[in-house]
Amino acid sequence: MNITAEAVKQLRERTGAGMMECKKALVETSGDLEAAAELMRKSGLAKADKKATRVAAEGAIVTATSSDGHTAVLVEVNCETDFVAREADFSAFARDVAQAALAGAPADLAALMALSTADGAVLEERRRELIAKIGENISVRRFVRVAAPSATLGVYLHGSRIGAIVSLEGGDIALARDLAMHVAAINPRHLDSSAVPAEELAKEKEILMAQAMGEGKPAEIVAKMIEGRVRKFLAEITLVGQPFVKDPDVTVEKLLKQANAKVTEYARLEVGAGIEKKQENFAEEVMAQVKSAEKR
């Protein structure tokens, strides 16, 4: 049958799929636009399931904050390439996920993806439809929601790849945001020395002891060396012990004392952190695509 260019255009606008895929679907459904869209949706969701095992280490960190400023979220949404991470549909989906996490207060990722957006679409269905449309694996990897009714929240995004939230008692929003910037830039492992796990500290002391003993110093000197090096270690890995990123002559602890403030909670997310990325050889990838095209 004759499929008009206008019908193909309308189906492309609805599905975001390629011209040939749209024409094929219209032929299979005898030109029925609704049936063709449904056919492509089913086909696309099946393809989405197949893409679920592909590594998605690019993406974006998105944030949302409540109107009263006392609740904020960070969400990591991943895709396979940085090109898609900048794509409008991907960005819109990521923002919708963040808004849902803020409004719905989900307990975990499964609960988050079961939530609906303002237009009534379930996030998990939106995700799979987006995979079908874009052609890459897309996943919502993790989220953090900080609610602090009596505290001030500072939120900072470094581009779209790193985000941080700091909950601050005392101080003001400017200080909270500066500390969120510090967390984003320096990535402290713990809030203060009391938050450092005993096993982590014991392991570091063991390493420092071996290093000091190897220097041939007397036992009393070794003890003082280890004490000093432990203090330095704790200062490096704890938020309050670190030099403030905007003024390295002042520690975060001193900055907080000057403002009569206290950090009660902080969170930081970075795109792809901890994901093992596949190393691609660009030249080989191009040649593989060329050979694949020649076989068609």
Domain assignment present for 241: yes
Domain limits at 114?
52-147
**The domain spanning residue 35 has which CATH number?**
1.10.8.10
Same domain, residue pair 60 and 91:
yes
Range list of β-strands (E), 41-161: 58-65, 71-79, 139-147, 152-158
| CA distance linking residue 134 with residue 80, whole number of Å | 11
Q: Are residues 215 and 247 in the same domain?
A: yes
**Helices and strands per DSSP (H, E), number in the chain:** 12, 8
Specify the pTM.
Answer: 0.75
Q: Give the helix/strand (H/E) hosting 253.
A: helix 252-258
Same domain (yes/no): 26, 58: no
- What sign results for the dihedral spanned by CA atoms 81, 86, 91, 97? positive
**Residue 67 is assigned to a structural domain of this protein:** yes
Number of domains in the chain: 3
Asked if 99 and 71 sit in the same domain, the reply is yes
Residue 44 and residue 73 in one domain: no
CATH of the domain at 56: 3.30.479.20
Query: Is 18 a residue whose pLDDT tops 80?
Result: no
Q: 94-149, pLDDT tens digit by residue? A: 999 999 999 999 999 999 999 998 888 899 989 988 888 888 889 999 999 999 99
Does residue 187 lie within any of the structural domains? Answer: no
Q: What is the pLDDT of residues 256-274, one digit of tens each?
A: 999 999 999 999 999 999 8
Q: Within a 10 A sphere around the Cβ of 242, how many other Cβ atoms?
A: 19
Would 31 be classed as within a structural domain?
Answer: yes
CATH number of domain containing 212: 1.10.286.20
Backbone angles phi, psi at 218, to 5 degrees: -60, 155
